[in-house]
């Protein structure tokens, strides 16, 4: 299992087509956007490190029941957002999958022309 560091978390988030890091709320709070929609956020200077991601509401409930390190989104819509404590208790692959799912959910909600533009950027 790889350790989630701020550098690794940032790298995973910005590796997705069209993803950008911005700081719209606080100087140290990294918010990851695709187009103009947020899909992840994290205080990369926090210890312990956490990341908040968007998710399917039913799956979110299951994950919260299964992993104590996954809680309702901190200062976010608790139905659609989870905050994951990156302490090693949530499998590494699951964390990466949840970040990717958050990105995919946000992209799916974009207008068709924006989705097509992102697909062209990624070579799909």
Q: pLDDT band for position 1 (50/70/90)?
A: low
Domains of the chain (ranges; CATH) run 12-111 (3.90.1150.30)
Query: Average pLDDT in the 90-109 region?
Result: 96
Q: CB count, 10 Å around CB of 81?
A: 21
* pLDDT tens digits along 3-31: 899 999 999 999 999 999 999 999 889 99
Q: What pTM does this model have? A: 0.92
Q: Give me the pLDDT at residue 117, please.
A: 87
Q: Give me the pLDDT at residue 119, please.
A: 85
Helix (H, G, I), strand (E, B), or coil: what is residue 23? coil
Q: Give me the pLDDT at residue 3, please.
A: 81
Cβ atoms of residues 99 and 93 within 8 Å: no
Residue that the structure tokens 């991601």 belong to: 53
């Amino acid at each position: 299992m790889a350790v989630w560091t701020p550098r690794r978390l940032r790298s995973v988030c910005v590796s997705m087509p069209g993803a950008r890091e911005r700081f719209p709320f606080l100087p140290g709070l990294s918010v990851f956007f695709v187009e103009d929609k947020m899909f992840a956020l994290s205080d990369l200077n926090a210890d312990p490190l956490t990341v908040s991601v968007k998710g399917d509401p039913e799956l979110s409930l299951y994950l919260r029941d299964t992993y104590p390190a996954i809680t309702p989104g901190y200062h976010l819509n608790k139905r659609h957002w989870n905050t994951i404590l990156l302490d090693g208790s949530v499998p590494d692959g699951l964390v990466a999958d949840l970040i990717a799912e958050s990105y995919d959910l946000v992209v799916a909600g974009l207008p068709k022309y924006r989705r097509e533009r992102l697909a062209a950027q990624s070579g799909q």
